[in-house]
Structure 1
């Protein structure tokens, strides 16, 4: 197992204060996400923990609030903690809501790794071992820089999970790169595809000078593609999105979407399971958090990744 970490160029350090056997059997880890059942993007992470669990010979349980309710997620973390797993992997969708339950898990002696949403600083405040994810503001700013270079001056950020502060940071970074204050150009689209499509069409009608769009994942990207198709504007507006899917890959190849921001969710699911298993068995863990992204997938490199979209990318 140590060779896996070495291949990633990650140094290992002894974790003080946690007594662990040299070899354990039947390890069980729990991954708690904020994602509603309707969000297919998380299928890649589910696949990643299945692969890692099989390779490591451990059990990994995936749990989430069916509707994406963060209070429900907090309760799920509390239930996971009460079940005494060998480790917990969780997103920090809202620090104020989740820092307490996650901090309680740490206080109980359960190793915690945070992933995806949240920041490295928030992860440290909770007492987690590390954070595996993408700096969301920086990723949004990178998207905005590409949009600015393409001539975007007026934009729409379609936020399908506005209660998640990380999603707002994506839009804010995009706006800052353009030198525009983030205000009404970010819409709360909700998560119903028909509603998202309707809101995008309404915004475009009310703001005909819009020449840039940013969506925050397949849940908002797919209905936005449909809205642009219906309005006849597909391919005429600079369109960037976070994350990948088969439909997003097709839109990139068809010059409808300029880029997909790949935060490599597979690594967000896979690495924590490998790291926690090495911690449980041998008492070693990387000393630093891991940036899994951002990377930009464009028409120039989509062929390298599209065959794995929804499974490994």
Structure 2
């Protein structure tokens, strides 16, 4: 499979720890939330609600009103709705100080890279004073990001790309998850629980992010165990039955496997079914990257060991907070990347995660 196609498929899958308020960044700038501000971001290309520009806090480094554009996924995507919740909460401070935050997202993920590049350029053409975006498909998006940064408008990467990508496109920083590190943490957690032989199910073999996740698992458990990858053909992508049967067959063939980790929550559902069908629940512990209500409920019930959360709410909140602080005051944190994960959700903290999920931020 060609790299662009793999990345596009990966993006679709993803466009598929205790949450902290994260107010410290804004408090350092001496800001306070306005009780009379709605805080909703504008969507698409609409103007949104913008307060009167004050003489100092709302002014950008260029002397105009702050206008932050955020390129994200579909707002009805469960993952991206949490990112947008973080963006909306941070937007309250921006709007209270006379600026505005505009969310731009694609109609679908069929042509993600080129569509995202167009949105980046749209933000530039509409007078953005800062652009926040995920570098999902570098081959298609990097030139657009460079066009923005080369014009003097600060770029902030989040969610996808990493510190190296930020340097490539001239972004000031990256906020999000490090997939290799996340995998290492997952492997170490398996080892702590006595797991010796982990199967990493990769339904997008060859993709940079998924390979990093499985490699991290292998590195993390290497002190006391091992991990092998089960690469499934692209024809299995999005086919729960095919994935379940492939995992089941592997479990029946190798009785030494006592741990399974998947690259997404959808695959974790398939793995859970496979473990049950193979009558292996007593020996096989399940973990996954990312999280949803189903994963949390299984952890609560004791039928799943963990999930690795990259805290999407924090990605949106911190990215907007940083863009505002830089536009308004020239403030920039020295940490890059600024990691929002990994956060391992397990039996010890699942209740807190469930509370966050009910609030719409986990």
TM-score (norm 1): 0.81
Shift of 1:235: 6.0
Shift of 1:250: 0.4
| Cross-structure match for 2:361 | 312
Q: 2:242 aligns with which of 180, 198, 204?
A: 198
Distance, in Å, in 2 between the alignment partners of 1:135 and 1:227 is 29
| Cross-structure match for 1:40 | 78
Shift of 1:138: 1.1
| Cross-structure match for 1:143 | 186
**2:68–2:323 Cα contact (<8 Å) kept:** no
The CA RMSD over aligned residues, in Å, is: 3.1
Q: 1:176 aligns with which of 219, 228, 236?
A: 219
Structure 1 residues 270 and 140: alpha-carbon distance in aligned structure 2, compared to 1, 3 A threshold: same
Distance, in Å, in 2 between the alignment partners of 1:235 and 1:78 is 53
Shift of 1:184: 5.0
Structure 1 residues 231 and 71: alpha-carbon distance in aligned structure 2, compared to 1, 3 A threshold: farther
**2:200–2:229 Cα contact (<8 Å) kept:** no
Deviations along 1:157-194, whole A, 9 cap, x unmatched?
A: 334555752232111111233449987523356653xx
SS in 2 for 1:157: strand
Distance, in Å, in 2 between the alignment partners of 1:151 and 1:99 is 43
* Residues 1:5 and 2:43 aligned together: no
**1:161–1:167 Cα contact (<8 Å) kept:** yes
Structure 1 residues 163 and 268: alpha-carbon distance in aligned structure 2, compared to 1, 3 A threshold: farther
* Residues 1:67 and 2:109 aligned together: yes
| Cross-structure match for 2:160 | 117
Shift of 1:76: 3.3
Shift of 1:85: 2.0
| Cross-structure match for 1:20 | 62
Q: 1:31 aligns with which of 38, 57, 71?
A: 71
Deviations along 1:274-310, whole A, 9 cap, x unmatched?
A: 2212222333232332121212111011112211127
**1:93–1:164 Cα contact (<8 Å) kept:** no
Distance, in Å, in 2 between the alignment partners of 1:211 and 1:300 is 21
**2:135–2:141 Cα contact (<8 Å) kept:** yes
Distance, in Å, in 2 between the alignment partners of 1:119 and 1:127 is 12
Deviations along 1:10-69, whole A, 9 cap, x unmatched?
A: xxxxxxxx9422x726x2412234xx7885222210211122223321223141462263
SS in 1 for 2:157: strand
**2:71–2:120 Cα contact (<8 Å) kept:** no
Number of aligned residue pairs: give it. 297
| Cross-structure match for 1:294 | 342
Distance, in Å, in 1 between the alignment partners of 2:107 and 2:202 is 19
Structure 1 residues 305 and 97: alpha-carbon distance in aligned structure 2, compared to 1, 3 A threshold: same
Distance, in Å, in 1 between the alignment partners of 2:204 and 2:124 is 26
* Residues 1:270 and 2:311 aligned together: no
**1:262–1:295 Cα contact (<8 Å) kept:** yes
Deviations along 1:193-220, whole A, 9 cap, x unmatched?
A: xx13421322321442232211233333
| Higher mean C-alpha deviation, range 103-112 or range 148-157 | 148-157
Which protein has the larger Cα radius of gyration, Structure 1 or Structure 2? 2
SS in 2 for 1:78: helix
